[in-house]
Amino acid sequence: MAEEKQKYAVIGWPIEHSASPQMHNAGFRASGIKAVYERIATPPAKLSATIDKLIDKGFRGWNVTVPHKEAVIPFLDDISPEAELAGSVNTIAVSNGRLRGYSTDGFGLEQAIQEAFHIPAAGHSFFFIGAGGATKATAVHYARQGADKIWVINRTIEKARQICGIINTATKADKAQAVALSEQKKWQQLLNSADVIIQATSLGLKDDDPLPIPAETIPENKNIYDMIYRLTPFLQEARKRNCQTAAGEGMLLYQGVKSFELWTGQTAPAEAMRRALKTAMAERD
């Protein structure tokens, strides 16, 4: 009898644009693992029923994306310290019927920034623009990996303060500082001195979105990472100022690499996954 394929998935809403199936299926093929990874559209009202179904059907693990990264936490038996601190889970692994949640987004961002700019977390300063789910999921990782300073600016200051408060409590140090987007004088100096600027708002998904910060505030010759998977108007402005820039694909790849390794216990075939991701993105554009 043919060996049954292991089952994996990504749950989210909407989910049809996710390139994770192509990336993970290529990874499984390249590693000779008999497995299949699918997209499962999961509206918020169906989250609980979908999780039950995945367990019943014997799924080994799944990724969790917007809008469920926080909402899945009550369904878990166990959570990694980083995911717990961040209040964000993007990877679930099933072991003996128990669900363990992880957050691999911060690892993904750090690897992507290391690859693009050769700057690790430890000993460096990072300036996050935005304090939504993307910053929440990743800034804690930077703090735990020994970042020197983490600055978070946001239109809604309370959200930035909440993230910085979690970091400062967890690291027992005053590493993180929140500043309101409206207080440009206060953050301009910090922006100028940051080793990496990370664009983590949703602005730039659409071409007619405003820039997340005024063009004239973008410093010359900086390392700028945009979590959005395209050359955003913000990155275009940054390039005009001789900045080194990179867009979100690297983060998507490396969060997937880490998920793959958590599920399989094997080193992920990152180059095969990268190629599949590139092809999937090109077909989607």
- Catalytic residues, by residue number, are 69
Report whether 166 contacts 155 (CB < 8 A). Answer: no
| x/- letters, 39..68, toward ligand ATR (CB under 6 A) | ---------------------------x--
Least distance (Å) between residue 158 CB and ligand ATR? 9
Contact flag: residue 155 with ligand ATR (CB under 6 A) = yes
Report whether 21 contacts 38 (CB < 8 A). Answer: yes
Binding test (CB under 6 A) with ligand ATR, winner from 18, 201, 223, 255: 201
Contact flag: residue 169 with ligand ATR (CB under 6 A) = no
Please state the separation of Cα 165 from the chain's center in Å.
20
DSSP 8-22: EEEEESS-TT--HHH
Q: Are strands 149-154 and 176-180 parallel, antiparallel or unpaired?
A: parallel
Contact flag: residue 130 with ligand ATR (CB under 6 A) = yes
Closest by CA position to 116, among listed 256, 255, 222: 222
Q: SS3 for 179?
A: strand
Least distance (Å) between residue 121 CB and ligand ATR? 21
Binding test (CB under 6 A) with ligand ATR, winner from 133, 248, 256, 269: 133
Contact flag: residue 227 with ligand ATR (CB under 6 A) = no
Binding test (CB under 6 A) with ligand ATR, winner from 95, 156, 217, 242: 156
Enumerate the β-bridge partners of residue 93: 61, 100
**Chain residue whose CB lies nearest ligand ATR:** 132
Least distance (Å) between residue 139 CB and ligand ATR? 12
Least distance (Å) between residue 270 CB and ligand ATR? 26
For residues 240-277, b (16+ Cβ closer than 10 Å) or e, as one string? eeebebbbbbbbbbbbbbbbbbbbbeeebbbebbbebb
Task: List residues binding ligand ATR (CB under 6 A).
Answer: 66, 130-134, 154-156, 159, 201-203
